[in-house]
Each structure stands twice: as C-alpha cells, then as structure tokens.
Amino acid sequence: MLKNSELRMKDVIDLKRGKKLGFIDDVDIDLAEGRVKAFIIPAHSNKVFSFFSKKHDLVIGWDEIKKIGEDVILVEIKGEMQV
C-alpha cells in the first residue's frame, strides 16, 4: 500500500514519448466504489505561473498507468497529449 505522500515523490514518465510528465499533485478517488480513478499532474510546477497560465492539468486515468515502481510511475497516455 502506498501513501499519498509517497506517490507525490515519484516521477511520472510517459512510455510512448519517453518524456517526464512531472509529479502527481492530486488523486481522483471514486468513494462509492473505493478505487482510484486518476492521477492529476499540474500543468506547471510553479504555483505563480499556474495562476497566469491557460494550460490545463494532465489527468491520467487508472487504465493508463502501466507500472508503479520504487522511483517512477510509468504511464501510456491514450490519444494525443498537448505539450
């Protein structure tokens, strides 16, 4: 079992593009079913820039997560990802 604080310290890497996406900022949980629906990665790591930015946070569905390792979370984003 992982704690939320442990998830936030792991790099999220997109397998398709070989790109670091950032760190998890929030977790979307379905309380009725008791399961994780998605991880949310902020558009910017700097909170000041995120206020002025029009970029949206990246939501990674549970089905897109391929492996949660000791240091990284490997994901495969479906469709096109805005850079």
Task: Report how far Cα 27 is from the mean position of its chain's Cα atoms.
Answer: 8
Domain contains 13: yes
Give the domain CATH number at 16: 2.30.30.240
Q: Please give the model's pTM, rounded to 2 decimal places.
A: 0.77
Look up the domain containing 14 and give its range.
Answer: 4-75
CB 41 within 8 A of CB 60: yes
Domain contains 82: no
Domain contains 55: yes
- Res. 51 pLDDT band, cuts 50 70 90: low
Structural domain total, the chain: 1
Over the stretch 8-40, which tens digit does the pLDDT of each residue have? 889 999 999 899 999 999 999 999 999 999 999
Domain contains 34: yes
Structure tokens at 28: 């979307």
